Amino acid sequence: MALTVSQVAKLSGVSVRALHHYDEIGLLSPGARTDAGYRLYDDDDLQRLQQVLFFRELGFPLEQIQRIVTDRDFDLQAALRMQRQLLTEKAARIHALIGAVDARLGAIERGTMLSKEEMFEVFGEFDPAEHEEEAQRRWGETDAYKESARRTKRYTKQDWLRIKEEGAANVEALAWALDAGTPADDPSVMALAEQHRQHIDRWFYPCSREMHRGLGEMYVADPRFSEVYERVRPGLARYLRDAIVANAERG
């Protein structure tokens, strides 16, 4: 039985306005309409909406979701498996965040600050101290380095976990785009490159598109940086670099 837009909104928790927007951009157009022109959603439409909501929960931009779900080779079963894996990873991060919040509350009550050991818990096997001396030597006198040092000095464990979560979500979205064969200069991938740039700009130092372009070249040229991305997907470092270049060139 077909459902009206208001019924779908009530069932899914998506606003009527958002459903209208999805229709307007071709992301989710209802399969039928009444004689009066009102939207009617069938089972296939609801299945499409479910996919949209799953991808949205995982942080995918609407443009990329549209490209994925409207691809004629779209495999629902494969998409669900991928979504389950990403949601499981997200659940683990959320549990870690809850633990970080509890730890932070305890630290506030005790009047103590984040220790280095607690900060390193956030980075797993990666130890920022291993690169601190080189970073100081190469960039210590730059405004970017000084600003990054100023900001990160006051970050709590909760902040670092949030930084890690945001960065991981961006990298996973890039990896999915690479797997899907989406060109690096596709608008949806350039949007992910811009998200990557804004992540740096928000948490560490002002990062112009030209500066970001320089970082992209470093991700490919320096094995220590490229390894971070290559562990996620082979070819991801170069793919990200190409997306950064395309994003910088569009102005």
- Structural domain boundaries of the chain? 3-57, 76-249
CA–CA gap between residue 28 and residue 8 (Å, rounded): 12
Strands of the sheet containing 3-4, edge to edge, are 3-4, 39-41, 32-33
Chain mean pLDDT for the chain: 80
Confidence grade of residue 244 (pLDDT, cut at 50, 70, 90): very high
Q: What is the pLDDT of residue 134?
A: 42
Q: Which pLDDT score is estimated for 157?
A: 72
> Are domains 3-57 and 76-249 of this chain identical in fold?
no
Q: Which residues pair with 41 in a beta bridge?
A: 3
Of 3.90.850.10, 1.10.287.610, 1.10.490.50, 3.10.350.10, which CATH number belongs to 76-249? 1.10.490.50
Which residues on neighbouring strands pair with residue 122, listed in sequence order? none
Q: Which is higher by pLDDT, 52 or 116?
A: 52
Higher pLDDT, 190 or 59: 190
Residue 51's identity, in one-letter code, is Q
172 membership: H or E segment, kind and range: helix 157-179
| HSE of 205, CA atoms in CB hemisphere, 13 A | 14
Nearest to 240 by CA among 166, 170, 135, 180: 170
Instruction: Indicate whether 30 pLDDT > 50.
Output: yes
Of the pLDDT bands very low, low, confident and very high (cuts 50, 70, 90), residue 60 is confident
For the entire predicted model, the pTM comes to: 0.50
Average the pLDDT over 28-35 and give the result: 88
pLDDT at residue 245, as a whole number: 94
3-57, which class in CATH? mainly alpha
